């Protein structure tokens, strides 16, 4: 058996699994998105409607609201997770006796299931019993408890805090891995050449960290676009502003449309749209990185 045949042979199980649990459902979803299939409106039948669902989406205020929320919260939380995650990694990498503590603290939010994290923050920010309100009132910063989760703006803020808390450790973990792969001689050489620590970081460490951060970035962007679990458990997409939820993301809208409203056709189209958004962002980014080569 040639090496190439062997390679193909070894790839076969992965390819089969990929085909069965990824490719097949993906193609089925795209196919479904071209048909009407609303279980609560059986009188509509299941006629082929082509791209009608996609055209409907452009006039679907709820979809546009969810898309706006997804992009808004996505941008803030991805930026936030890097602003906090990278310094966290530097602390965990630095020679210090407390390094292990920083590493444990870094792992904890990452290891916590998203729904549990959301419930913890829901309690922290509870309007009546929450620790945050207790602190605010005790410190005389507010007279009455603040209704964090029923105010559209504040609920968005709590969502952002929760997601950044949860995802910063992911960025930190990947960044830490990257930091450990950078040979110490390089930073030492910079020091010998008279670079300050800050210059060393900007000119040597950060560029070498680039590939690791790029990977973290892509994963974060995709998970931010697809975010469902934390907002669903934390705010359920609410509170409502106008007709729609202030924190309803595309993921939540897809879930509601498909599993609650039982509109499988439109739900499939929404899923494909979400896929397209993730793909577009990723492709843009990959092109951008390649352009820098």
Partner 1 sequence: MKKIAPKKAVLLGSLLITAGLLAAGPALAQATQSQATQSQAGSSKVVTLTVFMGSQQRPEIFQPLFDKFTKQNPNIRVKIEQGGATSEAQNQYLTTVLAARDPSLDIFLIDVVRPATFAAAGWAEPLDSYIPSKDQYVRAFLPGTIASATVNGKLYALPAFTDAQFLYYRRDLLAKYNASVPRTWDELTQTAARITKAEGGNLQGLNFQGAPIEGAVCNFLELLWSAGGNVNEVDSAQGQQGLGFLVNAVKTKLSPASSAEMKTDDSRQQFQAGNVLFGMNWSYAWAHFQGKSPDPTKVKGNVGVAKLPVFAKNSSSTCVGGWQWGVSSFGRNKAASVKLLQFMVSADAQREIAVKGAYLPVRRALYNDAAVVEANPHFKTLFTAVSSARSRPVTPAYPRVSEIIRSNVSAAVSGNKTVDAALKDMQQGLAPLLK
- Minimum CB separation of residue 195 from partner 1 in Å reads 29
Name which of 260, 258, 280, 277 is nearest 268 in CA terms: 258
- Minimum CB separation of residue 111 from partner 1 in Å reads 20
- Minimum CB separation of residue 236 from partner 1 in Å reads 7
Site residues (CB under 8 A) for partner 1, limited to 126-145: 126-128, 144-145
DSSP per-residue letters across 121-184? HHHHT-TTT-HHHHHHHHTTS-SS---GGGSHHHHHHHHHHHHHHHHHHHHHHHHHHHHHTS-H
Q: What is the largest distance, in Å, between two alpha-carbon atoms of the chain?
A: 78
User: Is 279 among the residues that bind partner 1 (CB under 8 A)?
Assistant: yes
**261 is written with which tokens?**
């409203």
Give the residue carrying structure tokens 């962002």.
281
Whole-angstrom distance, CA of residue 237 vs CA of residue 244? 9
User: Is 180 among the residues that bind partner 1 (CB under 8 A)?
Assistant: no
- Minimum CB separation of residue 32 from partner 1 in Å reads 5
H/E element, 50: none
User: Is 25 among the residues that bind partner 1 (CB under 8 A)?
Assistant: yes
- Non-local (6+) Cβ contacts of 109 within 8 A are 117, 165, 166, 168, 169
User: Is 151 among the residues that bind partner 1 (CB under 8 A)?
Assistant: yes
Judged by CB, which is closer to partner 1: 140, or 290?
A: 290
Q: Which residues bind partner 1 (CB under 8 A)?
A: 3-4, 7, 18, 21-23, 25-26, 28-29, 31-33, 37, 39-42, 126-128, 144-145, 147, 149-152, 211, 214-215, 218-219, 222, 226, 236, 238-243, 245, 251, 254-256, 258-262, 264-265, 267-268, 271-272, 274-275, 278-279, 282-283, 286, 289-290
């Amino acid at each position: 058996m040639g090496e190439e045949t062997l390679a193909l042979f070894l790839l076969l199980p992965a390819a089969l699994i990929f085909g069965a649990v990824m490719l097949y459902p993906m193609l089925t979803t795209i196919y479904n998105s071209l048909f009407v299939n609303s279980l609560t409106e059986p009188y509509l039948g299941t006629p082929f409607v082509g791209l009608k669902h996609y055209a409907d989406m452009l006039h679907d205020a709820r979809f546009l609201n969810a898309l706006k929320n997804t992009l808004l919260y996505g941008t803030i939380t991805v930026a936030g997770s890097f602003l906090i995650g990278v310094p966290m990694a530097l602390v965990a990498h630095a020679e210090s006796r407390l390094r292990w503590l920083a590493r444990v603290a870094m792992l904890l939010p990452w290891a916590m299931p998203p729904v549990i994290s959301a419930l913890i923050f829901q309690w922290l920010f509870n309007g009546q019993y929450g620790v945050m309100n207790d602190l605010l009132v005790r410190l005389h910063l507010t007279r009455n408890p603040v209704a964090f989760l029923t105010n559209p703006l504040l609920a968005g803020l709590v969502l952002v805090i929760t997601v950044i808390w949860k995802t910063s450790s992911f960025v930190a973990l990947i960044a830490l891995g990257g930091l450990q792969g950078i040979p110490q001689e390089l930073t030492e050489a910079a020091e010998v050449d008279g670079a300050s620590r800050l210059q060393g970081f900007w000119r040597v460490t950060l560029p070498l960290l680039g590939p690791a951060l790029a990977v973290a970035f892509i994963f974060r962007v995709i998970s931010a676009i697809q975010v469902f679990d934390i907002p669903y458990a934390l705010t359920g997409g609410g509170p409502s502003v106008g007709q729609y939820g202030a924190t309803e993301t595309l993921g939540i809208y897809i879930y509601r449309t498909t599993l609650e409203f039982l509109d499988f056709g439109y739900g499939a189209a929404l899923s494909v749209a979400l896929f397209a958004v993730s793909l577009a962002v990723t492709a843009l980014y990959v092109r951008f990185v390649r352009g820098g080569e």
